[in-house]
Amino acid sequence: MIQQIRGTKDILPDEISVWQHIHTIANQILNISNYQEIRTPILENTNLFERVIGNETDIINKEMYTFKDKGNRHITLRPEGTASIARSFIENKLYVKSNINRLWYLGPMFRYERPQRGRQRQFHQLGIECIGSANYMADVEVIRLAVKILECLKVSNFELQINSIGNREERTKYKEKLLSYLKKYTHDLDEDSKKRLNNNPLRILDSKNKKTQEILFNAPTLQSCLGKMSLNHFYNVCKNLTYLNTPYTINYKLVRGLDYYNYTAFEIKTIEKNDENTICGGGRYDTLIEELEGPKTPAVGWAIGLERLIIVMDNDLKRQQNKPKIYLIMKDNRAEKNIWDIIHICEKNKINFLLDLNNTKLSKQLKKAHQVSAKVCIILDVDELKDIYCKIKWLSNGYQETININQLENYLKENKNLLIN
């Protein structure tokens, strides 16, 4: 039997309502704040990610799905969303229409990682990018929207962690201080941290290894290398979050796994004791678009991993399904054409229905109506005088009445609140 590829997962019909709900909530919240949805290709030129993400990152070195197509071009399945948004921003000259572009996206990403709970090789991200403003208010805006979306999706017990990682010059200065400190502990570091010493030492701060974290306890902080502009930007972000009553923790060891960030970096973590508790991550990237040969354009954004998000969402919300309110049964085939009139009435009044196609005994069809949790069963029948009528059976209490098919629309309108609630 042919099975799904390891690290991929079918999203089944009884799960899809949760995904649709996430898109609906994101669309509602982000549209109000004038963020517009954008959809970019899954396939991109490999060079885009090599330039944007950084050659020393695990994503480039270990995780990208890259291949040559039939035109001998190097193609990559996108491992994250920001690079594609930046490419689209430049290629389509979005900066001509507006100096600030607020964009959001939702779609699949691909990384060759060890599959585990909440992490697949094909995974999905919801992300936003505020492109065109260096103002710290943009940082606050995107963080606020992430928190608001999580709250509206009934995610609880999460923590916002923020940090300032300064600009490139300040980080270079800090790398020298950190390397100087770590050299005397080289043999005590975990293997991944040893590899990162020469190519990406800041990522050592992210190590989950207990011994490495003990070594880092007395390490110099990045804040000791920040200049006035970086500190002032971070101070104003924190001040505005405080005004918004948005709780946060300053995590001086927080760095992002992508090279393009500067100034503000942040993560939203669930309060769980495991290594995979980050559900949202983002930050400011003021030089990325210019490095891709676009105009000098500051930006800030974030991405939420949907698989992890769904794990921590409220269980009652996850159990909600698009269940039919009305179950339609044809008792007499002589009236089969009239079932389409009833269906038209249901569609016109936006009432979810399910037409029984089994042609089994009435008792079995009624049993099926109960199984799918319908509110009402409408049984279409014909009497001796060939008068077409409906039996309306309320499944919660067994109450039943008979009406002419011509009265059905008014009946449904009068009882719509009982049907949909």
Highest mean pLDDT among 89-93, 185-189, 346-350: 89-93
Q: Which domains does the chain have, with CATH numbers?
A: 13-166+226-318 (3.30.930.10), 326-420 (3.40.50.800)
Tell me the C-alpha distance between 342 and 163, whole Å: 59
pLDDT surpasses 80 at 393 = yes
Tell me the C-alpha distance between 198 and 361, whole Å: 74
pLDDT surpasses 60 at 384 = no
pLDDT of residue 181: 85
Token couple for 102? 């607020």
Residue 123: count other Cβ atoms within 10 Å of its Cβ. 21
Q: For the ranges 109-118, 219-228, 250-259, which has the lowest average pLDDT?
A: 250-259
261 is in an annotated binding site: yes
129 is in an annotated binding site: yes
pLDDT of residue 294: 94
pLDDT surpasses 80 at 286 = yes
* 103-118 pLDDT, tens digit each: 999 999 999 988 888 8
pLDDT surpasses 70 at 370 = yes
181 is in an annotated binding site: no
Q: Could you tell me the pLDDT band of residue 314, with boundaries at 50, 70 and 90?
A: confident
pLDDT surpasses 70 at 317 = no
191 is in an annotated binding site: no
Average pLDDT, the chain: 88
pLDDT of residue 41: 97
347 is in an annotated binding site: no
For the chain, report the end-to-end CA distance as a whole number of angstroms: 43
pLDDT of residue 415: 87
pLDDT of residue 26: 96
pLDDT of residue 76: 95
Q: Could you tell me the pLDDT band of residue 157, with boundaries at 50, 70 and 90?
A: confident
260 is in an annotated binding site: yes
223 is in an annotated binding site: no
pLDDT surpasses 70 at 318 = no
Q: Could you tell me the pLDDT band of residue 230, with boundaries at 50, 70 and 90?
A: very high
pLDDT (average), residues 210-221: 83
334 is in an annotated binding site: no
Tell me the C-alpha distance between 63 and 78, whole Å: 11
Are the CB atoms for 165 and 171 separated by under 8 Å?
yes
pLDDT (average), residues 302-307: 96
Phi-psi region of 263 (alpha: psi -120 to 50; beta: other; left: phi over 0): left
Q: For the ranges 196-200, 266-270, 352-356, which has the lowest average pLDDT?
A: 196-200
401 is in an annotated binding site: no
pLDDT of residue 185: 81
pLDDT of residue 259: 66
* 11-60 pLDDT, tens digit each: 998 889 899 999 999 999 999 999 999 999 999 999 999 888 876 667 77
